[in-house]
């Protein structure tokens, strides 16, 4: 015999759903963190203070992680299938930029940090060509 | 003996028939607050949606998800579904109208928790006029009432 509990149990879950999408996306967010990484590596190289150098490594790793975070949000939330049709290379570009951010996190290579900036700039171009500044920034993007 | 078998079959038949037209669901999320709260359990029936009904609909952006919202508008392009809790709802404002065929179930009542047992009323979607874009339709109703016209 079915227990009362079984009978009362709902058969499925329905969503009174809310994404709270703020709708603000800009590769600039990732770029600023990546610029921080570059400057920190330069400061690391210029310093003789072991404590300061240790702090540089610590903060640079945090910033590199933020680059990845901002890139991933942009990738998964801003870019839509229709963008992919026009720019079939988006996935590859983001994947490589993410990997580059990992490289910057792991190393103290100025070249790697500069390369990351270039990659973010190429993402920025795609974002601009899809109308990103007008669509996602409040009153367009401040120049 | 035979009558028992017949009764049994009739009950099974009635159960199967009922299952096609009646179901129970549990609410997740707060976009229908205060009318519906997370974990509320509801009785739903298969019925044509009407303006003001609380209904279930496939999420047009992700078919695996089933949404619960109120029918706020009926137009040529389909139904406009909105959450009662406007500031915390992803609804027609995000995904536009849904085809009427995508809305098969209507909420009739809540059976759990027991202290809030009862029917779910059909009512207008907004307590206050909502007008997106352009001038507010009715920004100062008291001014209209008190006007000298």
Name the helix (H) or strand (E) containing A51.
helix A50-73
The CATH number of whichever domain residue B52 belongs to comes to 2.10.109.10
- B7: preceding bond cis by omega (within 30 degrees): no
Q: How do strand B62-75 and strand B78-82 relate by DSSP bridges?
A: antiparallel
Q: What is the pLDDT of residues B56-104, one digit of tens each?
A: 999 888 788 899 999 999 988 899 999 998 877 888 888 889 999 899 9
B72 interfaces chain A, CB cutoff of 8 Å: no
Q: Which residues contact B34 (CB under 8 A, 6 or more apart)?
A: B84, B85
- On the question of pLDDT at B138 being above 80, the answer is no
Q: How many Å apart are CA A84 and CA A128, to the nearest integer?
A: 14
* Residue B86 forms contact with A (CB below 8 Å): no
CB B27 within 8 A of CB B68: yes
pLDDT over 70 (residue A20): no
Q: CB–CB of B68 and A14 under 8 A? A: yes
Which of A10, A11, A18 shows the shortest C-beta gap to B29?
Answer: A18
Domains and CATH numbers, chain A: 26-130 (1.20.120.400)
Residue partners of B60: CB distance under 8 A and separation at least 6:
B95, B96, B98, B102
DSSP B68: E
Which site among A14, A18, A23, A80 would you substitute to test the B interface, given the most B Cβ atoms closer than 10 Å to its Cβ?
A14
- Sort out which chain A residues have CB atoms less than 8 A from B35's CB and list them: none
Query: In the predicted model, is pLDDT for residue B13 greater than 90?
Result: no
Whether the link from the prior residue into B113 is cis, omega within 30° of 0, is yes
CB contact under 8 A, B26 and A19: no
Whether B112 and A8 lie within 8 Å, measured CB to CB: yes
Contact between A30 and A70 under an 8 Å Cβ cutoff? The reply is: yes
What are the backbone angles phi and psi of residue B47, rounded to the nearest 5°? -160, 160
Is B2 within a domain?
Answer: no
pLDDT at residue B94, rounded to an integer: 81
Task: For residue A114, give the nearest of A44, A42, A47 by alpha carbon.
Answer: A42
Res. A16: pLDDT tops 90: no
Q: Could you give the number of structural domains in chain B? A: 1
Query: Is B95 part of any domain?
Result: yes
DSSP E strand stretches across chain B = 22-28, 41-46, 54-59, 62-75, 78-82, 105-112, 118-119
Each residue of A101-136: pLDDT tens digit?
999 999 999 999 999 999 999 999 999 898 888 777
Q: Does a structural domain hold residue B103?
A: yes
pLDDT computed for residue A2 by the predictor = 62
B24 and A21 within 8 Å at the Cβ level: the answer is: no
Q: Is B95 on the interface with A (CB under 8 A)?
A: no
Q: What is the pLDDT of residue B136?
A: 31
The question of ipTM being above 0.85 is answered as no
Q: Any chain B CB within 8 A of the CB of A1? A: no
Query: A49 is written with which tokens?
Result: 């203070």
B19: closest chain A residue by CA: A11
What local confidence, expressed as pLDDT, does residue A110 receive? 96
Asked whether residue B4 is domain-assigned, the answer is: no
- Judged by a CB distance cut-off of 8 A, whether residue A16 touches chain B is yes
* Residue B10 maps to a domain: no
Q: Which two tokens stand for residue B9?
A: 């079959």
Supply the range of the domain harboring residue B73: 22-121
Judged by a CB distance cut-off of 8 A, whether residue B41 touches chain A is yes
pLDDT value, residue B141: 32
Give the mean pLDDT of A29-54.
Answer: 96
Give residue B146's Cα distance to chain centre.
Answer: 36
């Amino acid at each position: 015999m079915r227990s009362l509990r079984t009978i009362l149990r709902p058969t499925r879950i329905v969503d009174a759903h809310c994404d709270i999408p703020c709708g603000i996306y800009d590769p600039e967010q990732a770029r600023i963190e990546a610029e921080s990484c570059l400057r920190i590596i330069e400061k690391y190289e210029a310093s003789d203070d072991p404590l300061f150098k240790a702090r540089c490594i610590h903060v640079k790793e945090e910033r590199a992680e933020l680059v990845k975070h901002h890139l991933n949000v942009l990738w998964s939330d801003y870019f839509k299938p229709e963008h992919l049709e026009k720019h079939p290379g988006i996935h590859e570009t983001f994947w490589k930029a993410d990997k580059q951010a990992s490289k910057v996190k792991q190393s103290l290579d100025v070249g790697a940090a500069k390369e990351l900036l270039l990659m973010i700039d190429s993402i920025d171009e795609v974002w601009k060509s899809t109308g990103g500044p007008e669509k996602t920034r409040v009153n367009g993007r401040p120049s | 003996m035979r009558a028992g078998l017949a009764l049994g079959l009739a009950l099974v038949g009635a159960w199967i028939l009922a299952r096609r037209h009646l179901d129970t669901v549990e609410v997740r999320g707060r976009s229908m607050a205060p009318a519906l709260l997370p974990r509320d359990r509801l009785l739903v029936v298969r019925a044509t949606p009407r303006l003001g009904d609380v209904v279930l609909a496939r999420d047009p952006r992700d078919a695996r998800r089933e949404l619960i919202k109120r029918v706020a508008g009926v137009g040529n392009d389909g139904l406009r579904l909105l959450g009662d809790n406007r500031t915390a709802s992803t609804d027609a404002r995000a995904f536009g109208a849904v085809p009427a065929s995508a809305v098969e179930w209507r909420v009739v009542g809540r059976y759990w928790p027991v202290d809030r047992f009862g029917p779910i009323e059909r009512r207008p979607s907004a307590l206050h006029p909502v007008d997106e874009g352009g001038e507010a339709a009715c920004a100062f109703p008291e001014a209209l009432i008190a006007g000298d016209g």
